[in-house]
A and B are shown apart, each in its own frame.
Chain A
């Protein structure tokens, strides 16, 4: 009974888009008629180039943007049935490293949601320490400011902050986009192992097919404000959809051309 009141054991999708469109006041359409369900515990990756509408879609989940048409339901509740502040505190949000508060220490950044939720301070401190360990941050970094950290460390802080209040849903907007390839590789690997333990519902935005293939349960391919197709990574590689095939081709080009140069 009680468990049913909380999101996690409820049936039905974690997030549902019903005929969602988004237009700017100027009339420019960023998203047209999106219909999609995100299942509990899956990692759904929105893949597309910039301007394809993937970030717009993500921001409608935590209502940083409001659809001009259609409805986004989180945990089966429509926007009208939800208090937006409560909703956001129940959804972890990770963006590129610039999203950290520059005047807060690492510790305070991570404990941000617990702080505004008015947890007692010893509980916040314990949770912060636990999280720093989970995301692989040295506890000595707690008193540092974001500008004193490396890109990879900042991103770990971002992930820890999103996990702080143990949300069932995580939104990640190109979180690893600004990192060098080796650090990105580390963080992707850690994300996967974290996700194996935590089973969050993750909605992830990227323009990098490699990242999508590696992290996704399903890949939602976006182009010019439209959802083109939703496929598993395996199916994506074999897809005959022209756009998906173009992504796969572009992905192979670097390898192939190097191989050709080597053999000639």
Chain B
């Protein structure tokens, strides 16, 4: 049975696993953005917090993913469902690129622009919403894009703890020494990563200030 036949015969299952994959990546990216963007804004405005926050996010990044999934397994509520756990782990990994992208974006806004906006009498929140965020948006999004691409890859490993996703085909293929099964998981995962990268890159270019 070749790969095409496999896809033809198991399209339902592949689609199901792709959806699970997308769900894990989507939710974890959303959570990482909800936590990471405010944190990035905070450390851009409070330089003292910069090192501890980026340092912590960096350390998380260095934990091998399989180990992190393992560590989290015994945690009460989380360990009940592998999917929850996978989403938490993916969120943690996505934090660093999101925080760093936001930090870089906000710090990269031309100081003269910020100063003149302040000089006009903008309050801190007006400055943030009308000047800093719009001008930093493309850089923030590039951080999110990196996070998404990393997550698509990492989410395949979540199958090791039974969280589903395309990794399931890969692990099954590994166990059965079946290359076609491995490819059946790996190819859609790679396509997802490329697609996410491309589409977010397009949005990013649209948002870039001239």
Contacts and interface: CB of A to CB of B under 8 A. Distances in A.
A147 interface: yes
B48 interface: no
A91 B122 CA distance: 12
A247 interface: no
Interface string B25-55: 0000000000000000000000000000000
Given A85-B122, A88-B119, 19 more contacts: A64-B119, A85-B121, A93-B120, A95-B112, A95-B115, A95-B119, A99-B112, A99-B116, A100-B116, A101-B117, A102-B113, A103-B134, A103-B135, A113-B120, A116-B121, A116-B122, A116-B130, A147-B210, A171-B119
Interface in A144-178: 145, 147, 161, 171
Interface residues of B, number: 19
Majority SS at the chain B contact face: helix
Contacts of B192: none
Contact of B209 (A87, A100, A102, A113): A102
Interface in A89-115: 89-91, 93, 95-96, 98-103, 112-113
Contact of B115 (A89, A99, A102, A113): A99
A116 B112 contact: no
Interface of B: 110, 112-113, 115-123, 126, 130-131, 134-135, 209-210
A18 to B, nearest CB: 22
28 contacts: A85-B121, A85-B122, A85-B123, A86-B121, A87-B121, A88-B121, A89-B120, A95-B112, A95-B115, A95-B119, A96-B112, A98-B110, A99-B113, A99-B116, A99-B119, A100-B113, A100-B116, A101-B116, A101-B130, A101-B131, A102-B110, A102-B209, A102-B210, A103-B134, A113-B120, A116-B121, A116-B122, A116-B126
Contacts of A206: none
Contacts of A100: 113, 116
Contacts of A89: 120-121
Nearest to A162: B120
A93 B135 contact: no
B120 A88 contact: yes
3 nearest A-B pairs in the assembled complex, by CB-CB distance: A99-B116, A88-B121, A89-B121
Contacts of A171: 119
A152 B6 CA distance: 67
A116 B116 contact: no
B125 to A, nearest CB: 11
A62 interface: yes
A26 to B, nearest CB: 16
A98 B121 CA distance: 17
A257 B112 CA distance: 38
Contacts of A147: 210
Nearest to B123: A85
A96 B118 CA distance: 15
Nearest to A84: B121
Interface in A46-96: 62, 64, 85-91, 93, 95-96
A98 B111 CA distance: 9
Interface in A199-243: none
Contact of A145 (B120, B130, B135, B210): B210
Interface centre among B115, B116, B134, B210 (most CB of A within 10 A): B116
Give the residue among A62, A64, A93, A96 with the most B Cβ atoms within 10 A.
A93
Contact of A98 (B112, B120, B135): B112
Q: Which of B119, B126, B130, B134 has most A Cβ within 10 Å?
A: B119
A8 B13 CA distance: 77
Contacts of B116: 93, 95, 99-101
**Residue among A86, A91, A116 with the most chain B CB within 10 A?**
A116
Contacts of B115: 64, 95, 99
Nearest to B110: A98
B110 to A, nearest CB: 6
Contacts of A99: 112-113, 115-116, 119
Nearest to A115: B130
Contacts of A85: 121-123
A135 B207 CA distance: 31
Given A98-B110, A98-B113, A103-B209, A62 B126 contact: no
Contacts of A116: 120-123, 126, 130
Nearest to B126: A116
